């Protein structure tokens, strides 16, 4: 096989069994890689109802045919499993040396099942695969862990590790690499911790066989040059995603105090301009010439890598208006392996519960010391952290007293940093995201606001969400390529089929990519339905209830909120365009059209239980 | 009357970040934008690469998108602030 390695590394931790499994070209062509592989493997192999934190859950690290090659923004890796925070499909991606090393070791994915008796790590050096005891690493943070492992195995290795939060099963623990490259928001770090797996160290020295290496190198160079010549390249390099703080403040979409408002009185203290004055260096993923991680020094003089999401969720969303303090909170999350978005949302939720006296706590919005304490407690699952480390949905169910009205999540996953009191398109994107509320797939908010259609619920919103889901959630997540060249600099999608053809020899059109995206979306949806059975409900595709019930109270959009009946019609429109029924479940026809005949038979059996 | 214009995003590097205008009589959003375009030496009817009036850039008057007001025909009043909001990076 060319372009792909054609080989999965399967590791059963319970029996310490390692299998190198070749897979078919047909499988590769149909599912491409990354998220495509992940959902097909989960569907085929995971028993419905499997405990996400039990030994049978599958933890997967996946590349695609694009990964690790010397072409633009190819240093990403997908991590996927059944999620312990949502109970449905979970994935995320991170950029570090781990992805390229995995490809060079000769594997396209690692599939891990079972559970170790004692904490250990996996060492992969090309064909050699070892499981090594890691008692001395257990209890260490991700920074210390990676430092020690790199000292033993070399600085050019890729290291993926969990911190204390993964070990203690915080439901939104992530997997960390290179001090701050985090992936797997929906608790992928907790799945790793449940298997007592502290880290994976990967070192590869081989090259995947390519269909036309010369053409790929030439195209790679052209791509890098083209990116560098884009009009907004220099602007992007200065602030990366942080320019969005100022933009969201102006558009009243900056999550503030647990998403109760869209503007923050101290936004200037945490925005991209403030960051620019403090940036000491930048960091990025391998094979990228638009590196976007900006590093500043925190209140302790330690380095912290910032981007829009973590700054807002640990800043305005919890009432902290000082970038250095935000940087401190961000660094703690990265060290402990906590997802910054869910951590910020959980702290904001806890602060609101405390201010409303629904819990016995002295937390308040803006409480920097309290936020630090809660982060540590969530990573230990102790004190107040034992409750809030479950995520806001589960915490609100335990607290009761109406707190679910301001628990900001979809399907159990906390919302990323866009307030949608008046953005129905972005709300639909959160509602229908395949992992719960996340912006990774359909980030339509910039279009929605700039196009002057902010208050509309018409079909164009559903079209836009689907268009973005196909491109970002389908093509990029399966190629395993970063979405930023396209969305930020206008690097055309047409480049990607060319890269894939040079790497694999297989011709894909962009239309093929969109069909692939639809296939992946349909199967992920079928997976959710299979897991939820009779409990599946179209209301699971609703955005947080606060955006319907509680109007904005500040700023130019005072009084505005989403309209439930209009949202419901928009959702209906979305389902129709996707070929899903009015419960949001793909119809038989749709499944067949997408080449999912076999899967549709199983789905039908499940549907007998779904009303 | 006094009208303030603030420009965000990459185009501010081309056309400037702030403008203050002293205006006598009535003025619309469109007229202010044309003023900014001409003062900053842009092609007529353009702000950087963006054509004024095309739906790929947001204009806010005192924080309210002009789509909720009278569009480009929105009349500005004393001490109003017009924000020019380019599509953002970030997602
Ligand atoms: S643009 Fe940022 S996220 Fe994307 S590959 Fe480059 S450094 Fe990584």
- Which of the residues A450, A456, A458 would you substitute to probe the B interface, choosing the one with the greatest number of B C-beta atoms within 10 Å? A450
How far away, in angstroms, is A82 Cα from ligand 1 center?
A: 26
A345 and A256: one domain? yes
Whether B31 is in a domain gets the answer yes
Contact A85, A92 (CB under 8 A): no
A585 lines ligand 1 (CB under 6 A): no
Residues A417 and A429 grouped into a single domain: no
Pairing of strands A109-113, A7-12: parallel
> Of the candidates A63, A88, A92, A97, which has an alpha carbon nearest to the alpha carbon of residue A79?
A92
pLDDT of residue A451: 82
Q: According to the model, what pLDDT value does residue A537 have?
A: 94
Same domain flag for A36 and A175: yes
Does residue A227 lie in a domain region?
Answer: no
**Mean pLDDT in residue range A197-210:** 96
Cα A133 to Cα A49, A117, A127, A130, A196, distances in angstroms: 31, 10, 20, 10, 10
Tell me, rounded to whole angstroms, the distance of Cα A257 from its chain centroid. 23
Residue A417 and residue A475 in one domain: no
Q: pLDDT at position A195, please?
A: 98
* The pLDDT value given to residue A335: 98
Q: Is the pLDDT of residue B89 over 90?
A: no
Task: Name the helix (H) or strand (E) containing A484.
Answer: helix A484-489
Nearest by CB: A241 against B57, B83, B90: B90
User: Shortest CB distance from B67 goes to which of A231, A250, A454?
Assistant: A454
Q: Tell whether A176 is covered by a domain.
A: yes
For residue A110, pLDDT beyond 80: yes
List the alpha helices (DSSP H) in chain B.
11-15, 29-39
Q: Per-residue pLDDT tens for A11-59?
A: 999 999 999 999 999 999 999 999 999 999 999 999 999 999 999 999 9
Kindly list the residues from chain B whose CB atom is less than 8 angstroms away from the CB atom of residue A248: 88
- In this structure, is residue B43 part of a structural domain? yes
- Residue among A243, A250, A556 minimizing CB distance to B90: A243
The values of phi and psi at residue A369, to 5°, are -65, -45
Q: Do A243 and B88 touch (CB under 8 A)?
A: yes
CATH of residue A305's domain is: 1.10.569.10
Asked if A333 and A298 count as a contact pair (C-beta separation under 8 A), the reply is no
Scanning every residue of chain B, which has its alpha carbon at the shortest distance from the alpha carbon of A454?
B67
Same domain for A434 and A417, yes or no, is no
Instruction: Kindly state whether residue A346 falls inside one of the protein's structural domains.
Output: yes
Q: A295 lies in which domain range?
A: 240-421
* Residues in contact with B81: Cβ distance below 8 Å, sequence separation at least 6, in sequence order: B3, B4, B5, B6, B61, B62, B63
Domain boundary among A179, A203, A227: A203
In A268-316, which residue ranges form alpha helices assigned H by DSSP? 272-278, 308-313
- Give the orientation angle of helix A340-355 with respect to helix A392-399, to 10 degrees: 20
pLDDT tens profile A350-383: 999 999 999 999 999 999 999 999 999 999 999 9
Over range A317-342, report the average pLDDT.
98
Whole-angstrom distance, CA of residue A138 vs CA of residue A570: 48
Check residue B50 and give its pLDDT: 85
- The pLDDT of A458-465, averaged and rounded, is 97
CATH code, domain carrying A187: 3.60.9.10
Interface of B with A (CB under 8 A): 8-10, 13, 49, 55-58, 60, 62-68, 83, 85-91
What is chain A's Cα-based Rg?
22
Residue B91, SS3 per DSSP: coil
A491 and A347 together in one domain: no
How many CB atoms lie under 10 A from the CB of residue A44?
10
Q: Residue A450: its chain B contacts at CB < 8 A?
A: 55-58, 85-87
Q: Which of A195-209, A287-301, B74-88 has the lowest mean pLDDT?
A: B74-88
pLDDT of B54 over the 90 cut: no
- For A178-195, the pLDDT digits (tens) are 999 999 999 999 999 999
Asked if the model's pLDDT at residue A481 lies above 80, the reply is: yes
3-state secondary structure of A385: helix
The residues that bridge with A486 in the sheet, in sequence order, are none
Tell me how far apart the alpha carbons of residues A37 and A354 are, in angstroms, rounded to a whole number: 43
Q: What is the CATH number of the domain that holds A562?
A: 1.10.599.10
pTM: 0.94
What CA–CA distance (Å, rounded) separates A319 from A267? 10
User: Average pLDDT for residues A391-395, to the nearest whole number?
Assistant: 98
A361 and A494 belong to one structural domain: no
Q: How much is the mean pLDDT over chain B?
A: 88
Q: What pLDDT is stored for residue A506 in this prediction?
A: 98
Query: Residue A93 Cα, ligand 1 centroid: separation in angstroms?
Result: 11
B70 found inside a domain: yes
What strand order describes the sheet that includes A197-203?
A128-133, A120-125, A197-203, A158-161, A175-177, A181-183
DSSP A3: S
**Domain assignment present for A2:** no
Same domain? A267 vs A403: yes
A450–B57 CB contact, under 8 Å: yes
Tell me how far the alpha carbon of residue A436 lies from the centroid of ligand 1, in angstroms.
Answer: 23
Residue A157, in any domain of the structure: yes
Dist. CA B9–CA A395, nearest whole Å: 39
Domain boundary among A384, A403, A421: A421
- Select the residue of B63, B88, B91 nearest A252 (Cβ to Cβ): B63
| Cα–Cα distance list, B79 to A44, A292, B21 (Å) | 64, 38, 10
Domain assignment present for A220:
no
Residue A398 has pLDDT above 80, yes or no: yes
Total domains present in chain B: 1
Atom of ligand 1 nearest to the CA of A283: 7
Q: How far is the CA of A63 from the centre of ligand 1 (A)?
A: 16
* B87 pLDDT more than 80: no
Rounded Cα gap, residues A126 and A104, in angstroms = 7
What values do phi and psi take at A216, rounded to 5?
-65, -40
CA torsion, points A266, A307, A560, A472, in degrees to nearest 10?
170
- DSSP label at residue A261: B
Region of A129 please: left (phi>0), alpha (psi -120 to 50) or beta.
beta
Instruction: Give the residue numbers spanning the domain of B19.
Output: 2-85
Residues A541-584 pLDDT 10s: 999 999 999 999 999 999 999 999 999 999 999 999 999 999 99
Q: What is the pLDDT of residue B63?
A: 81
Q: Is residue B91 part of a domain?
A: no
Q: Which residue has the higher pLDDT, B8 or A182?
A: A182
pLDDT score, position B90:
67
Q: Which helix (H) or strand (E) holds A370?
A: helix A368-380
Inter-CA distances, A56 with A15, A112, A173, A174, Å? 12, 9, 19, 19
pLDDT of A165 > 80? The answer is: yes
Question: Taking a C-beta distance cutoff of 8 angstroms, is the pair A480, A286 a contact?
Answer: no
Could you tell me if the CB of A482 is within 6 A of ligand 1?
Answer: yes
What is the predicted pLDDT for the residue at A270? Answer: 98
Neighbours of A402 (CB within 10 A): 10
Pick the last residue of a domain from A404, A421, A438: A421
Say what the pLDDT of residue A511 is.
Answer: 98
**Residue A570 region by backbone torsions, left for phi larger than 0, else alpha for psi between -120 and 50, else beta:** alpha
What share of chain A in percent tops pLDDT 70? 100
Q: For ligand 1, is residue A41 a contact (CB within 6 Å)?
A: no
Q: Which of A446, A411, A440, A460 is nearest to A573 (CA)?
A: A460
Mean pLDDT of B28-48: 92
Average pLDDT value for chain A: 96
With a 6 Å cutoff on the Cβ, whether A291 touches ligand 1 is yes
pLDDT value, residue A9: 98
| B90 within domain boundaries | no
- As for how many domains chain A has, the answer is 3
Q: Is the pLDDT of residue A532 over 80?
A: yes
Say yes or no: A98 and A244 in one domain. Answer: no
What is the number of alpha carbons within 13 Å of residue A405 lying toward its C-beta?
11
A524 lines ligand 1 (CB under 6 A): no
A323 and A268 inside one domain? yes
CA A145, distance to chain mean position in Å, is 23
Judge whether residue B8 has pLDDT over 90: no
Distance CA A278, CA A281 (A): 9
Residue B91 pLDDT exceeds 80: no
Q: Report pLDDT for A611.
A: 59
Q: What is the CATH number of the domain that holds B77?
A: 3.10.20.30
Give residue A27's pLDDT: 98
């Amino acid at each position: 096989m060319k372009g792909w390695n054609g080989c999965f590394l399967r590791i059963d931790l319970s029996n310490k069994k390692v299998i190198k499994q070749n897979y078919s070209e047909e499988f590769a062509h149909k599912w491409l890689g990354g998220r495509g592989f992940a959902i097909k493997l989960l569907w085929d192999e995971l028993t419905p109802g499997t405990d996400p934190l039990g030994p049978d859950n599958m933890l997967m690290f996946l590349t695609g045919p694009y990964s690790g090659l010397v072409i633009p923004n190819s240093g990403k890796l997908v991590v996927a499993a059944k999620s312990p925070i949502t109970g449905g499909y979970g994935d995320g991606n991170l950029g570090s040396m781990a992805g390229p090393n995995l490809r060079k070791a000769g594997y396209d994915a690692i599939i891990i099942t079972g559970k170790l008796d004692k904490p250990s790590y996996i060492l992969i050096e090309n064909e050699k695969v070892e499981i090594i005891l890691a008692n001395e690493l257990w209890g260490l943070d991700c920074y210390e862990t990676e430092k020690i492992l790199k000292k033993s195995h070399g600085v050019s290795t890729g290291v993926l590790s969990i911190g204390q939060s993964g070990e203690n099963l915080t439901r939104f623990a992530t997997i960390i690499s290179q001090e701050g490259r985090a992936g797997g928001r929906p608790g992928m770090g907790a799945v790793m911790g449940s298997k007592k797996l502290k880290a994976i160290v990967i070192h590869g020295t081989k090259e995947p066989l390519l269909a036309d290496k010369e053409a790929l190198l030439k195209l790679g160079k052209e791509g890098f040059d083209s990116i560098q010549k884009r009009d907004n390249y220099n602007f992007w390099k200065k602030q990366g995603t942080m320019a969005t703080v100022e933009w969201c403040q102006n558009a009243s979409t900056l999550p503030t105090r647990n998403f109760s408002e869209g503007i923050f009185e101290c936004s200037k203290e945490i925005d991209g301009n403030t960051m620019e004055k403090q940036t000491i260096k930048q960091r990025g993923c391998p094979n990228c010439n638009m590196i976007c991680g900006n590093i500043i020094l925190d209140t302790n003089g330690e380095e912290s890598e910032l981007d829009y999401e973590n700054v807002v969720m640990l800043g305005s969303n919890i009432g902290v208006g000082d970038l250095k303090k935000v940087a401190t909170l961000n660094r703690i999350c990265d060290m402990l392996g906590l997802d910054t978005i869910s951590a910020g949302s959980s702290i904001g939720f806890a602060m609101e519960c405390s201010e409303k006296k629904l819990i016995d706590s002295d937390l308040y919005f803006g409480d920097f010391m309290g936020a630090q304490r809660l982060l540590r407690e969530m990573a230990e699952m102790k004190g107040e952290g034992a409750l809030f480390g479950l995520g806001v949905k589960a915490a609100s169910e335990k607290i009761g007293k109406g707190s679910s009205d301001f628990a900001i999540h979809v399907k159990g996953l906390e919302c990323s940093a866009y307030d949608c009191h008046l953005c129905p398109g972005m709300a639909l994107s959160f509602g229908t995201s395949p992992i719960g509320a996340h912006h990774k797939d359909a980030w339509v908010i910039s279009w929605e606001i700039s196009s002057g259609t902010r208050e509309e619920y018409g079909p164009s919103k559903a079209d836009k969400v689907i268009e973005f889901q196909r491109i970002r959630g389908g093509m990029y997540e399966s190629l395993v390529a970063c979405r930023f060249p396209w969305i930020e600099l206008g690097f055309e999608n047409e480049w990607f089929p060319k890269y894939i053809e040079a790497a694999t020899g297989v011709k894909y059109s962009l239309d093929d990519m969109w069909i692939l995206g639809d296939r992946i979306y349909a199967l992920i949806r079928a997976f959710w339905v299979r897991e939820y059975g009779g409990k599946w409900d179209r209301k699971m595709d609703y955005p947080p209830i606060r955006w319907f019930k509680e109007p904005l109270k500040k700023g130019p959009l005072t009084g505005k909120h989403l309209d439930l009946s209009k949202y419901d019609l928009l959702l209906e429109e979305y389902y129709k365009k996707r070929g899903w029924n009015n419960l949001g479940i793909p119809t038989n026809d749709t499944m067949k059209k997408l080449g999912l005949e076999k899967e549709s038979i199983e789905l039908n059996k499940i549907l007998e239980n779904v009303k | 009357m006094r009208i303030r214009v603030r420009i965000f995003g990459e185009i501010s590097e081309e056309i400037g970040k702030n403008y203050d205008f002293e205006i006598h009589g009535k003025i619309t959003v469109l007229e202010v934008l044309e003023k900014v375009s001409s003062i900053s030496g842009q092609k007529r009817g353009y702000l950087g690469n963006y054509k004024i009036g095309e739906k790929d850039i947001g204009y806010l008057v005192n924080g309210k998108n002009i789509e909720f007001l009278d569009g480009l025909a929105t009349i500005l009043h004393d001490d109003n602030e017009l924000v020019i909001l380019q599509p953002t990076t970030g997602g």
